[in-house]
Structure 1
Amino acid sequence: MIEWLLHGTIPVAGGVLLVREVVGNVFGLASALLGMRRLVWAWPVGVVGNVLLFTVFATGALSGAAEEPLWGQAGRQVFFIGVSVYGWWRWSRSRAAGGAADGGAITPRWATARERLLLVALAVGGYAVAYPLLHVIGSWGPQTEAWILTGSMLATFGMARGWVEFWIVWMLVDIVGVTTLIQAGYYPTAVMYLIYAGFVVLGFVVWWRAERASRVAEDPTPREVVGS
């Protein structure tokens, strides 16, 4: 089983998929679905997928192709593991304290103006550091990979904090990520990322509705209609 997981391939039109590439993305999708429902298990499930995908991106073996490593994609897997520990701890504490009224581990909210400025500053600073680093390492497409890495960091941190905006950041990451994978010739994986992007849009809608419902629950007083 371990040999099959590490070295097995799955034939698809236009090439092959590594088994660990598929399994890693399945765990990632499961993590997204659990995160959509704001369940603590989203974090440990995601870590398993991160470990598997790191081995794929760091070796340049994506979709069975012998190419340069995608260090931006590999690097974000390492960051995911670190932030997942933080998110796991934060959501577990919130859950132990009672969690959200609808049963979720955390109550979604929009980031404040100050927090949004912080996200912008982190995005600029993160890209400024990631681009030259990836250029020196020799990653394929350091411009796009720097944004993928930086955006992934911000999105994962935003999820841990319970900010609705993190889904929007994920959308931007996926747009660039899918484009990068297509340009690099990794078509099967690009399709998987495209499917994942659909769940990201759905997750945004779910969290947006949950945030709105929590505000209504906190202030159920009906508003007076002007002109009535």
Structure 2
Amino acid sequence: MSLLQTLFDAEIHLGGATILWREIVGNAFGIASAIGGMKRVVWAWPVGIIGNALLFTVFMGALFHTPQDLNLYGQAGRQLLFITVSAYGWTTWLRSRHDSGEAVLPHWASTGQRIAMIATMVVGTVAFAKVFDMLGSWGPWPDAWIFTGSILATYGMARGWTEFWLIWIGVDVVGVPLLFSGGYYPSAILYLVYAAFVLWGFAVWMRIQRLTAARAASDTPSDTAVE
């Protein structure tokens, strides 16, 4: 038990900053999960869940007595919701792979689904900002934006909506300055690295989407009857 506690509390010191190894490891699992999502492989989900569990203990800094000693309730809460949504994505991709041989086929969300996503983003950000502020979260508004966008993006990935990559870009734009200012340097750097993967993943899913559409068009029999 003491060995596990030692590993749990292990630190690295860079300049004047103290960083927990579990923050680095949790973010490494996050990057691995992003790569798996881009490649549309099912193992992306359980790998992400492990990273989420580790990062929950990092962002509840005052509870787990981390060097930052800050509670980011949005960042911590989204790790728990990530685990829930990831379980849904995991089962969805497994079922899809069993039925069609593909874990997921990238496609655009419908107009109605896009409107619902925008409405959820606005309402969720306002509502969670108020909740996080009452809980004493450090930076409740950006925390709420990141929280809401992250859940939407994860759900969109599970559904195979190509837009989920664009939602992640919006999350990264707010997340990087928030985490740097809070002293969560590995997580802030992950957001920067992740932004590159997001752009790459968006391009990959767009290409798959175009190839799938072209293949479907070529497989459609001609409407012109042969006399």
Instruction: Give TM-score, length-normalised by structure 1.
Output: 0.89
Which of the numbers 202, 205, 210 marks the counterpart of 2:203? Answer: 205
Corresponding residue for 1:79?
Answer: 81
Q: Secondary structure at the match of 1:219?
A: helix
CA contact (8 A) 1:57 1:71 kept: yes
Corresponding residue for 1:41?
Answer: 43
Corresponding residue for 2:187?
Answer: 189
- Rounded Cα–Cα distance in structure 2 between residues aligned with 1:191 and 1:66: 16
The alpha-carbon deviation at position 196 of structure 1 amounts to 1.8
Corresponding residue for 1:151?
Answer: 149
Corresponding residue for 1:225?
Answer: none
The alpha-carbon deviation at position 30 of structure 1 amounts to 0.6
The alpha-carbon deviation at position 10 of structure 1 amounts to 1.8
Structure 2 unaligned regions, length at least 5: 220-227
The alpha-carbon deviation at position 60 of structure 1 amounts to 4.4
- Rounded Cα–Cα distance in structure 1 between residues aligned with 2:153 and 2:174: 14
Pairwise mapping of residues 210-221 of structure 1 onto structure 2 (< 5 A)?
210-220=208-218
Which of the numbers 161, 176, 183 marks the counterpart of 1:163? Answer: 161
Corresponding residue for 1:177?
Answer: 175
User: C-alpha deviations, 1:4-58, integer Å up to 9, x for none?
Assistant: 4311012224413211101100111111111110011111110000000000001
CA contact (8 A) 1:60 1:70 kept: no
- Rounded Cα–Cα distance in structure 2 between residues aligned with 1:66 and 1:124: 30
The alpha-carbon deviation at position 212 of structure 1 amounts to 1.0
Corresponding residue for 1:10?
Answer: 12
Residues 117, 61 of structure 1: alpha-carbon distance in 2 compared, 3 angstrom cutoff = same
User: C-alpha deviations, 1:104-151, integer Å up to 9, x for none?
Assistant: x11000111111011112112211220110000010111100100000
| One-letter amino acid matched to 2:29 | F
| One-letter amino acid matched to 1:90 | T
CA contact (8 A) 1:164 1:207 kept: yes
The alpha-carbon deviation at position 188 of structure 1 amounts to 4.1
Percent of aligned positions that are identical: 49
| One-letter amino acid matched to 1:17 | I
CA contact (8 A) 2:150 2:168 kept: yes
CA contact (8 A) 2:156 2:164 kept: yes
- Rounded Cα–Cα distance in structure 2 between residues aligned with 1:81 and 1:188: 21
Corresponding residue for 1:97?
Answer: 99
CA contact (8 A) 2:19 2:67 kept: no
Q: Secondary structure at the match of 1:73?
A: helix
Aligned Cα RMSD in Å? 1.9
User: Alignment length, in residue pairs?
Assistant: 217
CA contact (8 A) 1:99 1:107 kept: no
- Rounded Cα–Cα distance in structure 2 between residues aligned with 1:29 and 1:74: 18
Q: Secondary structure at the match of 1:17?
A: strand
Corresponding residue for 1:69?
Answer: 71
- Rounded Cα–Cα distance in structure 2 between residues aligned with 1:215 and 1:5: 49
Instruction: Give TM-score, length-normalised by structure 2.
Output: 0.90
- Rounded Cα–Cα distance in structure 2 between residues aligned with 1:76 and 1:34: 20
Pairwise mapping of residues 118-157 of structure 1 onto structure 2 (< 5 A)?
118-157=116-155
The alpha-carbon deviation at position 197 of structure 1 amounts to 1.6
The alpha-carbon deviation at position 59 of structure 1 amounts to 2.0
- Rounded Cα–Cα distance in structure 2 between residues aligned with 1:204 and 1:88: 20
